[in-house]
Amino acid sequence: MMTTDAGTRPAGRRRSPAARARSRHPVVLVATRKGAWLFHGDADRKAWRADGPHFLGHVVSHLVLDPRDGRTLLAAAKTGHLGPTVFRSTDRGRTWKEAERPPAFAKAAAGEAGRAVDHTFWLAPGHADEPGTWYAGTSPQGLFRSQDGGVTWAPFSSINDDPQYHKWMGTVQDGTPDGPKLHSIIVDPRDREHLYFAMSGGGVHESVDGGQTFRPLLNGLAVVEGFDGSEPTFHDPHCIRLCPGNPDRLYQQNHCGIYRIDRPSDTWQRIGDNMPKRVGDIGFPMVVHPRDADAVWVFPMDGTSVWPRTSPEGKPAVYATRNAGKTWRRLDDGLPQRQAWWTVKRQAMTADAQDPVGLYFGTTSGELWMSGDEGRGWSCMAQHLPEIYAVEAAEL
């Protein structure tokens, strides 16, 4: 069992719940290609203290705090040489312990090749009524569940070994450059049996029976020209988010545009057509407002010609809508105005729950940016980090 001690704070007496509530502070969880950091902020979100690196040299795809207990952290990690694993901390990142059984596919029958998890990509806490339940999405695409707070993991639902889903997942060559991924695992806050997930590639899928069965949810989504849109294999959702302020509404940043869906409709509406044509509506992250279901933020990238996947024209900007996608506004005050060729990956942009909402994103060039006023102004929190894979905002 691999354990580490970050050793950033002396051990002390346990604080009372009231004392903990008084001392809660914002924290930004940053997962990178070379390790993880926690940035602890003051109440005004002005001053930030870096705690890290944790797991230096590990590829950390996601670092997530359990909102149900406010202290358990899970980190999805691997190194370039060794197999994947999950680390857990139950003391807000002071010490870490490796999962006893990380996500792994079932052993294949004799004579069959079988799949192996290359890395766990996405971590999602389960429903508020199911403390200890977590979901994980992997590369290659697999769905896993833990029911003991991330200590042991098991394949979840039938999709991992379902021939139809295997066909939709395609091969490793069909996915993103560092492997096809299962991501955007969403639990309906009103109904723990109602789940969504997405696959790059492989489309968007929904379950209404607690994950026993899933079905595609693809109507209205475009695919690359020349491919059959009725085939889930050709769909590439990049990031999907459910609105806390209206759980019937989801937004999606797709390889082919920005979309909104209002359930019970099963058809996605392309709202990215209203973006400026010179910027387009291609990108990776999708960020929803914690209360206002009409407000979302995206980070467009250059998806033209050979797909440079940089900021369009080297001028990074966030785009926001406050009317569910009818109109978009460019938000780049404080961001570099030229010759900035980084972009933001699908898990690397997020919002906190404060008022006004704080926004945070990490770049492929290792910069961490934040806005304390819902995107109107931006400031750089940190530079010179490794390539940033994921950013989450929470309170500790």
CB 29 within 8 A of CB 385: no
Q: Which is nearer to another protein, 113 or 306 (CB)?
A: 113
Q: Which of residues 292-331 bind another protein (CB under 8 A)?
A: none
Q: Which is nearer to another protein, 81 or 190 (CB)?
A: 81
Among 23, 79, 219, 327, binds another protein (CB under 8 A): 79
d(CA 17, CA 251): 36
Measured from the CB atom, the residue of 65 and 99 that comes closer to another protein is 99
Determine, following the binding rule CB under 8 A, whether residue 172 of this chain makes contact with another protein: no
CA-CA-CA-CA torsion for 20, 24, 28, 29, nearest 10 degrees? 10
Q: Which is nearer to another protein, 21 or 56 (CB)?
A: 56
Dihedral, 116, 32, 175, 110 alpha carbons, nearest 10:
0
255 with 224: CB under 8 angstroms?
yes
CA-wise closest residue to 349 among 337, 339, 267, 335:
335
Which of 36/242 has CB closer to another protein?
36
Q: Smallest distance from the beta carbon of 156 to another protein, in angstroms?
A: 15
| Rounded least distance, CB 348 to another protein, Å | 20
Q: Give how many residues touch another protein by CB under 8 A.
A: 23
Angle at 366 between CA 364 and CA 372, to 5 degrees: 100
Phi-psi region of 89 (alpha: psi -120 to 50; beta: other; left: phi over 0): beta
Rg, C-alpha atoms of the chain: 20
Using CB under 8 A as the binding rule, whether residue 190 contacts another protein is answered as no
Among positions 90-109, residues that touch another protein (CB under 8 A) are: 98-100, 102, 104-108
Q: In which order are the strands placed within the sheet that holds 237-243?
A: 237-243, 246-254, 257-262, 269-270
Q: Is 365 in the site for another protein (CB under 8 A)?
A: no
Is residue 240 part of the contact set for another protein (CB under 8 A)?
no
User: What is the per-residue binding string for another protein in 112-151, x denoting contact by CB under 8 A?
Assistant: -xxxxx----------------------------------
Rule CB under 8 A: which residues touch another protein? 1-2, 4, 79-83, 85, 98-100, 102, 104-108, 113-117
